[in-house]
Structure 1
Amino acid sequence: MTDRSAPHLIPAGTARVELRVVNSRFIGSAGPAAAVEEAKAFIAAVRAEMPDATHHVYAYVIGHGSSTIEGMSDDGEPSGTAGRPVLAVVRGSGLGDVVVVVTRYFGGTLLGTGGLVRAYSDTAKAVLAELPRTEKIARRRLRITIPYSAYEPIQRLIATHHGTIEREEFAATVTLEIVVPDANVAALTGALRTMTAGQAQIAAE
């Protein structure tokens, strides 16, 4: 059962490592991917950077817990020796929204099924160990309509609650589209109503 209170960890950047196994080079690259398109773009960038490599094996996990999208590829290695072991390592890392590519330059010596599984698993573990992590914070989008007189103090109020203003519209009143951490929504909306004496109109997008 998934612990809903557990933090959702995601990559805070990218990482790269290189391992040598017998004569083959295994280069692990990892980074953030909040959508399948982002994972595919990361994989394509690694391929473009090392076009002469023998294989670009990858695995990604988008999302967290029970609502995840997963993908993997052996990229020409024997079935089950590459993509599946890398995906198993990614699943076990506790990370979501992450993509790992293990690039192999074949060194002329066959590693066998067990050797391939170990090499790809070890490279995935090594690059994930180097990958910086941060907590994914759930955010809510709100649309706020306020009088002009409240515009400047409410800008400061939104910043205090770690919100960001994405769009502003100036007509008879001021309409702001903001994004704010879920945990701060109740406090922010209460403060907005107090500051504007109930004049603020607040709607969830």
Structure 2
Amino acid sequence: MPQTIYTAVHHELLIKKSRFIACVQPMADRASAQKVVAELWQQHPGAAHVCWALLAGGQSAAVDDGEPSGTAGRPMLDVLRHQDLEGVLATVVRYFGGVKLGAGGLVRAYTDSVAQALLQAEKIAIIKQRCLICTVPYAMEGLVRREIEIAGATLINVQHGSDVQFEFNLPDTTADAFIIRLNEAGHGRISWITPEDE
């Protein structure tokens, strides 16, 4: 099951006088990630590299930022994928200490920086939600409100017109069973609207 992280976490490694300052944080998309990377350059003007990896909204990125190809961004991205994360940006700011680490040493340094930061991260399961909209006669409003509460759904909106319209979210895995249960309880008096029809 894919997970994201609750808040940004940091970790710093010192390897042969080079500083690797890692951060993993929740991130919505590539544009937001690029903004964070630009801010890191402002905060660390003396850094040799700001490497990063992103998994967010179906987009991925692996940026070596001048390190030998495949030694920074890709290993960082592999750590995120291995932990089944989504909506996460990993950045590592490197201050060069004067000693070359070699390709294997760089891969280990960037991998370990991100992995160590993730050990401190509070992970949250990503549960795909489905938006449901239904209309019911006024006499059934209480019943539907109780069923929504029992199902642990999130009520988004209620409109009172000729009928009562409910809009709510609940986990996709339980939506079909909920619709069946509500239809049985409502004896065919509940109408479902697909969100696109709105």
Structure 1 residue aligned with 2:50: 56
- Write the distance in 2 (CA, Å) between the matches of 1:43 and 1:204: 40
Structure 1 residue aligned with 2:173: 183
Per the alignment, do residues 49 and 158 of structure 1 end up closer, same or farther by CA in structure 2, a change over 3 Å counting?
farther
Per the alignment, do residues 50 and 195 of structure 1 end up closer, same or farther by CA in structure 2, a change over 3 Å counting?
farther
The C-alpha deviation readout for 1:28-74, integer Å capped at 9, x for no partner, is 111233543454455455455545533221112236xxxx5321111
**Residue identity in the other structure for 1:84:** R
**Residue identity in the other structure for 1:12:** Y
- Report the RMSD for the aligned CA atoms in angstroms: 2.5
Name the % identity.
Answer: 33
Structure 2 residue aligned with 1:92: 82
1:155 to 136, 142, 145: 145
Runs of 4+ in 1 over 6 A off after TM superposition: none
- 1:32 equivalent to 2:26? Answer yes
- 1:10 equivalent to 2:4? Answer yes
**Local SS of the residue matching 2:78:** helix
- Write the distance in 2 (CA, Å) between the matches of 1:85 and 1:46: 20
What is the TM-score of this pair, normalised by structure 2?
0.83
How far apart are 1:26 and its partner, in Å?
Answer: 0.9
Per the alignment, do residues 100 and 171 of structure 1 end up closer, same or farther by CA in structure 2, a change over 3 Å counting?
same
Q: How many positions carry a matched residue from both structures?
A: 195
What is the TM-score of this pair, normalised by structure 1?
0.80
Structure 2, unaligned runs of 5 or more: none
Structure 1, unaligned runs of 5 or more: 1-6
**Local SS of the residue matching 1:191:** helix
1:72 to 34, 59, 62: 62
How far apart are 1:180 and its partner, in Å?
Answer: 1.1
**Local SS of the residue matching 1:109:** coil
* Residue range with higher mean Cα deviation, 18-27 or 192-201: 192-201
Structure 2 residue aligned with 1:172: 162
Structure 2 residue aligned with 1:129: 119
